[in-house]
Amino acid sequence: MTPPRLYYMPRTRSSRVLWLLEEIGASYDLTEIRGAQRRSAEHLLRHPLGRVPALQLGDGATMFESAAICLQLADLNPAAGLIGPIGSTERGLVYQWVVFAVSELEGPLFGGIRELGEGVTDSPAHDRFDKAAAAMHSVLLERDWLVEDRFSVADVMCASVLQGANARGLLEPWPALEGYVQRAEARPAYARAAAISDRPRS
Ligand SMILES: N[C@@H](CCC(=O)N[C@@H](CS)C(=O)NCC(=O)O)C(=O)O
């Protein structure tokens, strides 16, 4: 079976896919996309918006969107135990938190960070992120990981978004979220992915 190939740029949303690949522990190939290569005809075939991550699957097909890629990789590697069986409650809750990560956390957080740069501290984006963070906080007061207290693809997605907030000190009102990000960052697979991805872009 041909291993998947991740098209990535350092310090981007491709880092979460790298982390997931390291959690899975199977072989994979990497291609770094540099500067103008993003808009090349070749890369636009992989990602119509010229972004990363994109993933080439074993059959040669390519896909984009980090959340979809993470779910697909978890499905392709069931032995890694990062997603429950089809139709299980566990799987439904993984879907719930993965969608929550991109809709309730990531969008409002990135919007809020942009606004902070403009001096805006009170806005619908801040309010929406605060409500989502508070909801997650009450869950993580009770357990270490989101779904059945077992690390899953939902944690890769949610922790990778919250890292951006933690790095800016924005999680201070929610200590259980700070602890969650620290637990995630302490995972050996996270460290291996960071060794590849935490460097300046070329
Ligand atoms: N929703 C997409 C967002 C992808 C995205 O915005 N990627 C950024 C890096 S984090 C990118 O490639 N930016 C380069 C560009 O837009 O030229 C995902 O999660 O994969």
The predicted structure's pLDDT at residue 198? 87
| Distance in Å, CA 89 to ligand 1 centroid | 31
Give tens-digit pLDDT for 135-170. 999 999 999 999 999 999 999 999 999 999 999 999
Question: pLDDT tens digit string along 174-185?
Answer: 999 999 999 999
- The pLDDT score that the predictor gives to residue 201 is 75
Confidence at residue 150, expressed as pLDDT on a 0 to 100 scale: 98
Q: Whose CA is nearest to atom 9 of ligand 1?
A: 12
10 lines ligand 1 (CB under 6 A): no
Q: Does the C-beta of 4 come closer than 6 Å to ligand 1?
A: no
Domains and CATH numbers, the chain: 5-81+189-197 (3.40.30.10), 89-187 (1.20.1050.10)
Categorize the per-residue pLDDT at 29 as very low, low, confident or very high, splitting at 50, 70 and 90. very high
**Ligand 1 pocket member 13 (CB < 6 A):** yes
What is the mean predicted confidence (pLDDT) over 47-55?
A: 98
HEC secondary structure over 146-194 = CECCECCHHHHHHHHHHHHHHHCCCCCCCHHHHHHHHHHHCCHHHHHHH
Single out the residue of 116, 63, 74 nearest to residue 97, CA to CA.
Answer: 74
Q: pLDDT above 70 covers what percent of the chain?
A: 100
How far, in Å, CA of 157 to CA of 164, rounded?
Answer: 12
